[in-house]
Structure 1
């Protein structure tokens, strides 16, 4: 499997895991997996277009911000919620919003 195929498989695996957790009412775990799917979508786009894979979130944000402002806005909006899932419960509205954004962005790489 090539790098793009691996990244796409990761997107699908994270998304399917998130969907299962979402249906089970495990909201924090579902949110974390939707966020991982969002990051994998971002990495897919970065590899496809620039042949670059960031080593961490800071580098990812730095690369994405000037080149993909819409994607940056989505990523940066959910990142604080992602960090908060370690100590707080995710709000249902935020969970549904990230799910919808992941579905929308996932369609752009299919």
Structure 2
């Protein structure tokens, strides 16, 4: 399988996981999987168009901002919530 196909499969898997978690009332975990879905959509777009996969969120945002401002705005809006939720999940476990 190629990188695009792998990323596409990950998007579907993360989204399905998020939906299941949400239905079970596990909203923090569901949010993290929805956020991971968005991040993977961004990576899919970057790989498809630029053949680059960012190493971290900072690089991802740097690549997205000038080329895909709408995707950048959505991701940057939810990023603080995603990192806060992830920290909460790690603390609760």
TM-score > 0.5, shorter chain as reference? yes
2:73 corresponds to which residue? Answer: 73
Secondary structure of the equivalent of 1:87? helix
Consecutive unaligned residues of structure 1, counting only runs of 5 or more, are 89-110
2:42 corresponds to which residue? Answer: 42
2:84 corresponds to which residue? Answer: 84
CA RMSD of aligned residues (A): 1.0
Hey, what's the Cα distance between the residues in 1 that align with 2:12 and 2:88? 27
C-alpha deviation, 1:87, in angstroms: 2.7
Question: Deviations 1:41-98 (Å, cap 9, x if unpaired)?
Answer: 000000000101000000000000010000000000000000111238xxxxxxxxxx
Hey, what's the Cα distance between the residues in 2 that align with 1:14 and 1:78? 16
Structure with the bigger RCO (C-alpha within 8 Å, sep 6+) is 1
Q: TM-score with structure 2 length normalisation? A: 0.92
1:17 corresponds to which residue? Answer: 17
Consecutive unaligned residues of structure 2, counting only runs of 5 or more, are none
Of Structure 1 and Structure 2, the greater helix share is in 2
Question: Deviations 1:11-67 (Å, cap 9, x if unpaired)?
Answer: 001000000001001000000000000000000000000101000000000000010
2:60 corresponds to which residue? Answer: 60
Secondary structure of the equivalent of 1:54? coil
Question: How many residues are paired up?
Answer: 88
